[in-house]
Structure 1
Amino acid sequence: MNGIVQQQVGTEEAGLAEEPVIVRVSGVKKKYRDVTAVDHVDLEVRRGEFYTLLGPSGSGKTTTLRLIAGFEKPDQGLIELNGADVTKLPPYDRDINTVFQDYALFPHMSVAENVAYGLQTKGVPKDECKERVIEALRMVRLQNFGERKPAELSGGQRQRVGLARAIVNRPKVLLLDEPLGALDLKLRQEMQSELKRIQAEVKITFLYVTHDQEEALTMSDRIAIFNHGRIVQIGTPTDVYEKPADAFIASFVGTSNILHRHGKRFVLRPEKIRIAPLGQLFDEAGLHVEDGRILEAIYVGMFTRYVVALADGTEVTAVRQNFDRTTARFRDAAGTTVQVAWRPDNLFELQ
C-alpha cells in the first residue's frame, strides 16, 4: 500500500473494526495537466466512522473527496460505495451528500425550505418531508428557526442548516469539505463538539476534509494524512500524534522536537518536556536531564512556550502550564540557564 503506515487497532478502539467497509478507494490517480493531484491513493472507510482526510494545502485531500463525490473522474483506479463500483457514476447517482465551506444556501428560501429542497426534488411525500425536516432541524438544534431566512442567522447557524440539508436525505456517506473554515476560532471549537454529537446521533459515515490538526484530533475515529498526493499514515488521533510515521507528520500534526541521539532520530513532544531552574531536583526518578538556556519565552494564556538551546546546540520547544506564580520567573527569562527533563519512553524513534 505504497508504504503507508496502517494501524488497524484504531478502528478496534473506536468499536468499528467489525463494521463493513462502506467507502473503498483503490489505486486512484488524478492529474491536472502536468500536476499529479492524487497519486495512487488507497483507503477504506467503515460504516459509522468519522474519518478525516488531513493535510496541507495542495496535498490531495480535497481532490480525493471530490473523486469520491463524483465531481471529478479519476484517471485510473476504483471507487466503491457499499460494495458497488461507482467510479463512473455521476454525483446524483451516488448515495452521498456533501457539505461545503460556503454552505450554498438559497437566500430567498426559509431554513425549513432549504432543508426540504433535496427531498422535494426526489418526490418525497409532503407529510414525510415535513416530518424529516423537523427531525433534521432538531438534530442540529434549530427546531425553532425553520421560518427564518439564511441572512437572519449567524455563521454557525448557517453551517448547521447546511448540515441539516445534507442529513435529511439520509445518505450512506456524508462528505464535509472544510465546513468550519469560515467560522471564528471559538465558534469553530463549539461546532467541532456539535458535529461529533450529530454524527453519533444520526449514525451516518462522515468523511471529513480539513487542514486543521485540532479539528482532526478532536473529532476523528481515524485520520488519513496526505502529503504530495499520497497518504503517508492512517491511524487513530492517538496513533498519528504519539507515533508519527515520519518527520513530516511529526511536524505537521502539532509541534514536535526532532532529536538526534546515537545516530537515530527521535520525536519528543513539547508537553513531554519538563523545565526547572538550574540545580532544582525533579520530583520523578529515571528522568533524562540536560542543561539548557532559554532563548525565548512566549506567554500564551493557559501556558508559556519556551525555546531552549541544549548544550549540543539543539533547540527544543517546551510548554509549561501557568498553574502557579512560579511561571512568571521565566516569562522574561531569555538567557536564563535551566534544566530540561523527559522520560526516556516519551521519545519515539523515527524510522
Structure 2
Amino acid sequence: MPSISNAGGSLTSALALTLLAWAVRWWREEASKSKAAAQSAKAGSTRVLSRFHSGISLAALKLLVETGACPHLIFDVRQDPSRPLPPELKGALCIPAGEVEEVLSHPKRWAETFGATRRPPPSDILVFLGSTAGEQEEGAAGARAAGYDRTLALAGTLAKIEEAEAQPPQDLAFLRADALGLLLMGEGARQAFPCPVTVIDVRRWEERLLFGSIRTSQALPVEELPSALNLSPGEFEELYRFPKPSQHDLVVVASRSHARAAWAATLAADAGYTQWLVLQSGHNGWRFDANVKPYHNYAAGEAPPEPEDVATELPDRDEGLAELAALGLL
C-alpha cells in the first residue's frame, strides 16, 4: 500500500507554489501599472506647445478685450483664483490647467463646466492667465492637445500684474491715407529709407477678396500675427509669401477701419518693432483705387454686407508731405 505520510507536505508545497505564482502575477501587474503611469506622466510632462504659441503683454490683452480685434477666449488657470483680476479680464473662465484638454475636447464636459458659454472653434485665440509660467504653459499645451493651435500666455504672468499695470501704455503712431498714398507712389520717405514701405493687411482673407485691397499690400490675418512675429525669416516668408520685416523696417498696418490694425501694431511694439504705423482710416477710407470698396463690419461666418460705391481721388500732396515730415519720414 502506498505511503501517504507526505500528503500534507505535498499539499502545503502546492499551496505555497500557488501563493508564490499569485504574488508574482500581482507584482507584475503592479509593475505594469506603475510603468504605464510613469509613461503617461512623462508624456504629459513633455507635451509641447504649438508652434503658433506666443506671449502677450497686459496692454495688448486689454486692447484685445476692448476692441474685439479677433475672436478669443480667456482662461484663468491659477490653482488659487481667489485673487481678483483686473476689471477688463473678469470675464475669464476659471479652470485648472490640467483639465483644459479634457474640457476642450468634449462638448459634454464643456457644457458641464461652463454651461451655455460658447465652446470656441479651433480658429479662435485662447489666452491663458496663471500665477506661474508653468500653469500657463500647461493650459496652452492642453489646448494644443485638444486641437487648438492659436494660444497666448500673459507675459510676466499674473504674479507681476501690478508691475505690468504700472507701465504706461505705448502710444501708437497713425498715418493718414494721403501720406501712405505718396509713399506708394514713390514720393517722400521712399528716398530716405533703405527699405520700401511694407503695407500689411490684417483683415481676413475673404475680406480682401470681396472688397479689394491696397495695391502692393501683403496679407497676414491679425489672429495669426502673434505667432507670425515669432517665426524665423525663412519660416515667415514660406508661410506668408513676403519677407519678414526687420525690427526697424517701415510698416503700415491696415484693417477695415483701424481697430484690428491698432492691436497688430501693439503686438509688434511689444515684440520690439519700432516703425509700425496704423493706417488711420483703414481700407474704408482708401479713395485712391476704385477696386477698394468700403463696407460695414461683419463677423467671420456671417453673410458679408454689400460693398459701397465711392468716388476715387488722388492723394493730397501737401497734406501727405506735411504728415510725413511731422513723423520724421522725410
* TM-score, scaled relative to structure 1: 0.23
Larger Rg: 2
Q: Which has the higher helix share?
A: 2
* TM-score, scaled relative to structure 2: 0.24
